[in-house]
């Protein structure tokens, strides 16, 4: 069994989440908050404003007009996209590193997290879920536990993979069995230390739906589906790719099978 106290001590070595992220999320999740207050929060941080305008004017977005202010960015791109850009710019640091234990090169985990976030956004909109910014953020951070746990997984990978192949365990179940801790539980601990909301912590802890009750939470089920869809289209890189349980009833709730013509 791995020394759990040693794992937890490594949380302090992660780059902390900037305070502005909590402010942006609070405003984005409050339907009563004026849009002007969100713009003021972003504008108070010169580095974030500069990165936002740089991204808004990038060839990738292809806007016909040069964006010179946060207000203009919001009016042209919309609040949700601006919030997503701010979140993405400020949460990539920890996730951009190589995670050798999971077979992930530098940048792989971050690209996969972005892909899941974009799928989660689409699914959440289809279901008219109100917690869209929280779901998007949880999707970006769902695998934050891997940033610490990967070195422990590397030492026990053969044992973990044998449990997956011989006993039909999911990768996260095998992690817990071998290490005494899995990346979802560790992710929840990290999210709690970073002062995210209880619901955000819950989504990160349960994004593989190992807890039966979590399947009844629409936001968590959406995050699970987004993760599975991303893996199925080959953006889910790494040694644990598709080594997770598929809950067909959850898929059927989102993608009902039509009978007859």
CATH number, residue 157: 1.10.3210.10
259 domain-assigned: no
Domain assignment present for 90: yes
Tell me how many domains the chain contains: 1
* Whole-angstrom distance, CA of residue 1 vs CA of residue 89: 37
Residue 68 has pLDDT above 60, yes or no: yes
* Phi, psi of 104, rounded to the nearest 5 degrees: -110, 125
Say if 134 falls within a structural domain. yes
Q: What domain range includes position 213?
A: 4-254
Q: 104-154, pLDDT tens digit by residue?
A: 999 999 999 999 999 999 999 988 887 888 999 999 999 999 999 999 999
Per-residue pLDDT of 72-109, as tens digits, reads: 888 888 888 888 888 888 898 999 999 999 999 999 99
- Is pLDDT of 11 > 80? yes
In a domain, 131, yes or no: yes
Q: Which two tokens stand for residue 70?
A: 């946060």
Task: Report d(CA 80, CA 78) in Å as an integer.
Answer: 6
Nearest to 83 by CA among 92, 64, 70: 70
Assigned domain for 39 exists? yes
Q: Is the pLDDT of residue 54 over 90?
A: no
> pLDDT band at 5, cuts 50/70/90?
confident
- 199 in a domain, yes or no? yes
Query: Is 57 contained in some domain?
Result: yes
Phi-psi region for residue 62, left (φ > 0), alpha (ψ -120 to 50) or beta?
A: left
pTM metric for this prediction? 0.89
Question: What is residue 256's three-state secondary structure?
Answer: coil
Question: Does any domain span residue 260?
Answer: no
């Amino acid at each position: 069994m791995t020394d759990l106290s040693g794992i937890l001590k490594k949380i302090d070595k992660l780059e902390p989440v900037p305070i502005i992220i909590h402010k942006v999320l609070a405003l984005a999740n409050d339907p009563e908050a004026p849009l002007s207050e969100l713009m003021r929060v972003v504008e108070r941080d010169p580095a974030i404003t500069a990165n936002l305008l740089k991204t808004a004017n990038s060839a990738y977005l292809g806007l016909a007009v040069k964006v010179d202010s946060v207000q203009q960015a919001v009016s042209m791109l919309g609040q949700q996209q601006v919030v997503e850009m701010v979140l993405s710019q400020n949460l990539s640091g920890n996730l951009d590193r190589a995670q050798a234990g999971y077979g992930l090169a530098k940048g792989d985990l971050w690209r996969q997290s972005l892909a899941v976030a974009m799928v989660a956004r689409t699914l959440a909109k289809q279901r008219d879920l109100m917690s869209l910014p929280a779901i998007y953020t949880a999707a970006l951070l769902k695998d934050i536990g891997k940033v610490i746990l990967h070195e422990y997984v590397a030492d026990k990978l053969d044992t973990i993979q044998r449990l997956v192949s011989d006993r039909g365990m999911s990768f996260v179940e095998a992690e817990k069995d071998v290490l005494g801790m899995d990346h979802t539980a560790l992710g929840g601990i990290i999210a709690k230390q970073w002062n995210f909301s209880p619901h955000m912590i819950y989504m990160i802890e349960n994004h593989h739906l190992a807890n039966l009750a979590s399947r009844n939470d629409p936001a968590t089920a959406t995050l699970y589906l987004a993760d599975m869809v991303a893996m199925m289209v080959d953006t889910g890189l790494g040694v644990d790719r598709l080594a997770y349980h598929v809950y067909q009833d959850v898929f059927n709730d989102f993608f009902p099978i039509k009978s007859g013509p």
